[in-house]
Amino acid sequence: MSAAVPVAGDPGRGPAVQAMFARIAVGYDRANAIISLGIDRAWRRIAIRELGAAADGDVLDLCAGTMDFSGMLHGRSRSLTALDFCEEMLTLGQGKAPSARRVCADAREMPLADAVFDGCVAGFGIRNVPEPARAVAEALRVLRPGGVLVVVDFFQPTTWLARFLAATYNRIVLPVVGGLVSGDSAAYRYLAESMAAWTDRAGFERMCRDAGFVDVSGRELFPPVASIVIARKPA
């Protein structure tokens, strides 16, 4: 029997997403490095810069995967918590930030106390969460007043250049290269489809405002396939 592949946009896709990341976990970092040519590291550095002083405090790495953000913040943040519902991804990442607390849980229902983080960073994860508004509401709950949320993701492209780059990336690079490197082209096809089924950046910014965040802003990164959104919990 072939492994379950999530259907982009399906509100019940959570278990299939979890199983898919468990399947691709081992080759994930290698596939990521090849597919992105290392550009994702530059995007992460920008995201950490946008956290500002919050990066020195208590930070939540949301949908942490193999803990790349945690690894980059390790030794700087007062405390790090990496949350992901895929145990296999977290286990593979633990060496990058050995002192980080690892929490295997759904982003829609975090087993974390209210108002305990200065910053929350979420890389390329929230678009996989069914009911992403619930994850955004949870991020607001666990942040301290004045806390910062920084999200980096592949939103629906809105300019012709971004549409062209996204189409090339989604139809060729992700399924073909991701499939070759990981041996699971169906998983990488889902990742491409999940971008097409996701909101544009303005829609995500609205989601943050609707949840109660303030000072919400966003911009395209370079190259303009990924974008960043920054939001603050009211003080």
Ligand X SMILES: C[S@@+](CC[C@H](N)C(=O)[O-])C[C@H]1O[C@@H](n2cnc3c(N)ncnc32)[C@H](O)[C@@H]1O
> Where on the chain is the footprint of ligand X (CB under 6 A)?
14, 17, 21, 63-65, 68, 84-86, 89, 106-108, 123-125, 128-129
Backbone angles phi, psi at 174, to 5 degrees: -60, -60
Q: How far is the CB of 126 from ligand X (least distance, A)?
A: 8
Q: Which is nearer to ligand X, 68 or 184 (CB)?
A: 68
- Residue number of the CB atom closest to ligand X: 65
* Between 84 and 205, CB nearer to ligand X: 84
Q: Which is nearer to ligand X, 90 or 160 (CB)?
A: 90
Cβ distance to ligand X smaller for residue 65 or 175:
65
Q: Which lies closer to ligand X via its Cβ, residue 71 or residue 157?
A: 71
Q: What share of the chain is helix, strand, coil (3-state, %, to 5)?
A: 50, 20, 30
Q: How far is the CB of 133 from ligand X (least distance, A)?
A: 12
User: Within 13 Å and on the Cβ side, how many CA atoms surround 123?
Assistant: 23
Which CB sits closer to ligand X, 54 or 110? 110
CA nearest 89: which of 161, 6, 167, 24? 24
Helices (H), the chain: 14-36, 39-51, 68-73, 87-93, 132-142, 160-168, 179-182, 185-196, 201-211
CB of 219 to ligand X, least distance (A): 18
Cα separation of 33 and 22, whole Å? Answer: 18
Contact 121, 47 (CB under 8 A): yes
CB of 42 to ligand X, least distance (A): 13
Q: Are 59 and 73 in contact (CB under 8 A)?
A: yes
Least distance CB 207 / ligand X (angstroms): 15
Nearest approach, Cβ of 223 to ligand X (angstroms)?
A: 17
Q: For tokens 């909101």, name the residue.
A: 199
